[in-house]
Amino acid sequence: MRPGVSRIVLAAACLLSCSLFLHTQQEPSITVRLLDGKTGVKVDASNVLVQFDHHQQKDGNWSHQNDDGTVQVRIPPGAVVISVHATYDNAMEFYINCDVAKQKNTESDTWYPISDILKSGIVMPNDCVKEKNSDKIRIDPKQGEFVIYVRQRGWRERD
């Protein structure tokens, strides 16, 4: 092999290994799926509010839903827990997450461990459906998937 060609091959190999190293150093991500708590059908949210580690940032961490109904969430370094809420009616109303649907304060946050989501996936408990119908909409999460059941506010719950 000529000296010029070997340098080009060596440079290409270095670039490839650097790009692979940078690719593995990227922040992990979670796929969030929003489903209707009574029907299990995909929910089209106006926006999705993602919070990490009990930080109540009302102005930040807003994400948009993809066409397939999923939301890709990049996990910042050191983040341990996550909470997700979605809006409807052009972002004027928040959905009620079905894990707190039977509580008096339906606006409370529930925090889920990111490590469990990344390892095996998590499905939020669903208090929006009657127990006899819960098997009809039950879903098994995939690794890295966070499935959230929501419902719209009833007329009594609107401000």
Predicted confidence (pLDDT) per residue in 36-95, tens digit:
999 999 999 989 999 998 776 554 578 888 888 899 999 999 999 999 999 998 878 999
pTM of the model: 0.77
The answer for 94, left when phi > 0, alpha when psi is -120 to 50, beta otherwise, is: beta
Q: Encode pLDDT of 136-154 as tens digits.
A: 888 889 999 999 999 998 8
CB-based contact 136:37 (threshold 8 Å): no
The CATH architecture that domain 27-151 belongs to is: Sandwich (2.60)
Residues of the chain above pLDDT 90, percent = 49
Domain ranges for the chain: 27-151
Q: Which two tokens stand for residue 91?
A: 């972002």
Give the amino acid at 102.
Answer: K
Q: Encode pLDDT of 6-18 as tens digits.
A: 666 555 555 555 5
- Residue 122's nearest CA partner among 3, 55, 33 is 33
Q: Given the DSSP bridges, would you call strands 145-151 and 122-123 parallel, antiparallel or unpaired?
A: parallel
